[in-house]
Structure 1
């Protein structure tokens, strides 16, 4: 059974990047004595990845591709170089992509990206679980966790954990299927 999961950090004021789109503020809360807060295990468990074009481009510029041998579906309407790794460009049709990936029966699909990608995935029923790390910093401006229009999606808090340095992990589950519009 395919499960769509996001693993992401945000500031106390709900920002996943600063006003310039940067994430250098995350380095101040890198895990310390407790290591990576489960990141390596989560990363290694992804059977496929879905991301937006900006996230793809940023990862390409940052260094070696982090998901060797894992299909990466990049939401884009522009050309990209799919010859490298297992990068699969797909048009921005989240409901259609969700159905396709469920038919392919991936175990864990990691939804990676910014507020637009996460918001569209949530609205399309492509977000079953959110592992959210709230860092003790206020940015004041920047990229919100979700950028979306339409009806809200109910979430259930299914777990939590306090990490060193004041980082709080919240595990939320979302109801099945896309939110119906009236």
Structure 2
């Protein structure tokens, strides 16, 4: 069975995944919710591979003294020439052939972490198999949007809604 690409992300009610400075502090009050932690822990059991852009990698890397996802393979999409690290590979490959190869390898599903510049071509090329979007009850007004203008409309299939106190996670899947 082919591995799924899962976009698991939080978004403000007005559609932002980060503030104008790539900051995520608006998420801080919700990170302590036990339901959120359980959801993340369950996701980590489903996946063995993470995909992220360079800016997201830098933000995640600064959150802790050690890499938080050492037991998962992480691919960082970047134009910079970087030396690979333990379970972290830097790539400048084109997304479509890279993902085609990755999805056909054996393993668990794949978490598309972000950020916005990496997610957009995945949406545009309809490479995301499942969208899990947690709605944060805040209006940022500006920042990095999850959804940008795109050339094609995508129809998705509703799967479920999960509630975490005042948060809502909507899950949709790609229509094959």
Q: TM-score, normalised by structure 2?
A: 0.89
**Structure 1, unpaired ranges of 5+:** 177-182
Q: What pairs up with 1:164-179 in 2 under 5 angstroms?
A: 164=165, 166-176=166-176
Quick one: structure 1 residues 148 and 107, their matched pair in 2 at CA, closer, same or farther if it must change by over 3 Å? farther
Classify the secondary structure of the residue corresponding to 2:61: helix
Which stretches of structure 1, 4 residues or longer, exceed 4 Å deviation after superposition? none
Classify the secondary structure of the residue corresponding to 1:126: coil
Tell me whether 1:156 sits opposite 2:157 in the alignment. Answer: yes
**Structure 2, unpaired ranges of 5+:** none
Offset at residue 34 of structure 1 (A): 3.4
Quick one: structure 1 residues 137 and 47, their matched pair in 2 at CA, closer, same or farther if it must change by over 3 Å? same
Offset at residue 141 of structure 1 (A): 0.7
Quick one: structure 1 residues 169 and 138, their matched pair in 2 at CA, closer, same or farther if it must change by over 3 Å? same
For the aligned residue pairs, the C-alpha RMSD in angstroms reads 1.8
Classify the secondary structure of the residue corresponding to 1:133: strand
> Partner residue of 2:77?
75
Classify the secondary structure of the residue corresponding to 1:13: coil
> Partner residue of 1:54?
55
Instruction: Please tell me whether the aligned partners of residues 126 and 154 of structure 2 are also in contact (alpha carbons under 8 angstroms).
Output: no
Tell me whether 1:66 sits opposite 2:68 in the alignment. Answer: yes
Count of residue correspondences: 174
Tell me whether 1:122 sits opposite 2:103 in the alignment. Answer: no
Quick one: structure 1 residues 125 and 105, their matched pair in 2 at CA, closer, same or farther if it must change by over 3 Å? farther
Tell me whether 1:43 sits opposite 2:23 in the alignment. Answer: no
In structure 2, C-alpha distance between the alignment counterparts of 1:115 and 1:81, rounded to whole Å: 24
